[in-house]
Structures are given as structure tokens and as C-alpha cells.
Amino acid sequence: DAMVIQNPRYQVTQFGKPVTLSCSQTLNHNVMYWYQQKSSQAPKLLFHYYDKDFNNEADTPDNFQSRRPNTSFCFLDIRSPGLGDAAMYLCATSRDPGYNEQFFGPGTRLTVL
Amino acid sequence: QKEVEQNSGPLSVPEGAIASLNCTYSDRGSQSFFWYRQYSGKSPELIMSIYSNGDKEDGRFTAQLNKASQYVSLLIRDSQPSDSATYLCAVHGSYYGGSQGNLIFGKGTKLSVKP
């Protein structure tokens, strides 16, 4: 089945220690998104890639970076995690930007000690 | 700031009843509307998409859209305990509405179906 895969599912890191989360997709979608979701809150868009074009949300901290080496893979790098970065990180894909449906991966739960 | 508003709940209904979830949005240029179901600790799962005014039915789920009133709803018939989850309303903001065509989520309504 076509799907969105995220690894790891659970990540524990120390304050200030860089961490990388990965996302892969077999849907062959053009757009990949990274969201941050904290408890009882709506998912918050961090950035997205439309093919190779990177689109950063204005309020995404510089501490968060992303890479998309090819169509299938996208990475979220947190350069110096703070306690406030503990959250569920969701990867999603859509065929095109705009009005298409977005499909989410299972998420990575990040804990910062 | 374009917004999507939902009643946070919790909404509690007995098993077998109809659950009605409501959502309003502020961007009049929005054209696409989605309902996601999110179980506790899990990721959102797309359950309904609607693009035109009126009703769209899929099994026990019916999505209703009224663009003039900027209102979208989700009805769940014959509610089951397994429907207990948070339901997120999501709206594609228009490119000219300041959201660059991104998906704007409400905070979700927590539904509890009692056996």
C-alpha cells in the first residue's frame, strides 16, 4: 500500500543536542509538509517542499531546518532542541499544493530531557 | 489571520446516536474542506473531503458545506465507541487570503461515544 512513513516513531534527545527526523513516501506526491503538534493543539505548519522548492512559514524558528534530497524523502533537523520543542512531529504529503488532500504519516513523538 | 473555529467539546453522545460536529472559517476564498479524525497519541487520518456546497455522504459519515455561511459540518450516524476521537476541521486557505494556500486546522472537537 502507498503510504507515508516516519522514523523514528519515538525520539528522546537532550537539551541542545541536534536531532533529525525522517519521512518517506511511496505516494509519489510532489509536496511534503512538516507540522508540529502539541497536546490539545492544532497541527502547526513549519514548512513544506513543492518538489525542490522550499517554503518556510514566517514564524518557524531558525532552529528548525529541512532537507528534501529526492522526491521520496524529507528530513526535519532541529539544531538545538529546547524543552519547548517537545511535541509530535507530523509529515504529510499531497499531490500538489493548493486544494489537494493531505495524507499524514504516523508521526514522531519527540521528548527533550 | 485566517481562522478555523471548532467547539472544543467534549461532545458526548450515546452509542447509536448521531454526532454533529461543526466548523466555521473566516477565509471566503477557501475552496477545499476536510475532516480528519485523530485518536489520542496518533496522527490525523483523513475521513472526508468536500469541495461543493451541499452534502457528501460516505458510509456513516456525511459532510455538509455552506460557503455562503462559511460553515462546514460532519455528521456521524450510528455512532460507535470506536468513533471516540478528536475531529479536526481543515480548510485550504486561498492564495490571496494570506495563508498561501496552506491547510488551516481548527483545534478539534473531542467526541466521546458512550456504550
CB atoms within 10 A of CB A91: 26
pLDDT digits (tens, 9 = 90+) for B48-103: 999 999 999 999 999 999 999 999 999 999 999 999 999 999 998 766 545 566 88
**How far is the C-alpha of A51 from the C-alpha of B7, rounded, in Å?**
36
The continuous run of DSSP H or E covering B87 comes out as strand B85-92
pLDDT at site B29 = 86
Residues of A within 8 A of B31 (CB-CB) are: 99
Residues of B within 8 A of A48 (CB-CB) are: 102
Provide mean pLDDT across the span A18-31: 96
How many CB pairs (< 8 A) connect A and B? 50
Least reliable range by pLDDT among A36-45, A78-87, B60-69, B101-110: B101-110
Residue of B67, B103, B62, B60 lying closest to B83 (CA atoms): B60
The DSSP call for residue B81 is G
Q: Is A83 on the interface with B (CB under 8 A)?
A: no
Residues of B within 8 A of A105 (CB-CB) are: 43
Which neighbouring-strand residues pair with A91?
Answer: A34
A102 contacts B103? CB cut-off 8 A: yes
**And the C-alpha cell for A61?**
524558528
**And the C-alpha cell for A45?**
505548519
CA–CA min distance A43, chain B (Å): 7
B43 contacts A107? CB cut-off 8 A: yes
For chain A, the C-alpha Rg in angstroms (whole number) is 13
pLDDT at site B1 = 66
**And the C-alpha cell for A88?**
509530535
> C-alpha distances in angstroms, A22 versus A13, A48, A71, B67, B70?
15, 14, 13, 38, 37
Which neighbouring-strand residues pair with B12?
Answer: B112
Q: What phi and psi values does residue A84 have, to the nearest 5 degrees?
A: -75, -10
A104 contacts B88? CB cut-off 8 A: no
Whether residue A78 has pLDDT greater than 90: yes
CA–CA min distance A107, chain B (Å): 6
The DSSP call for residue A83 is G
**How far is the C-alpha of A58 from the C-alpha of B77, rounded, in Å?**
41
Are the CB atoms for B28 and B70 separated by under 8 Å?
yes
A55 contacts B43? CB cut-off 8 A: no
Confidence of residue A98 (pLDDT cuts 50, 70, 90): confident
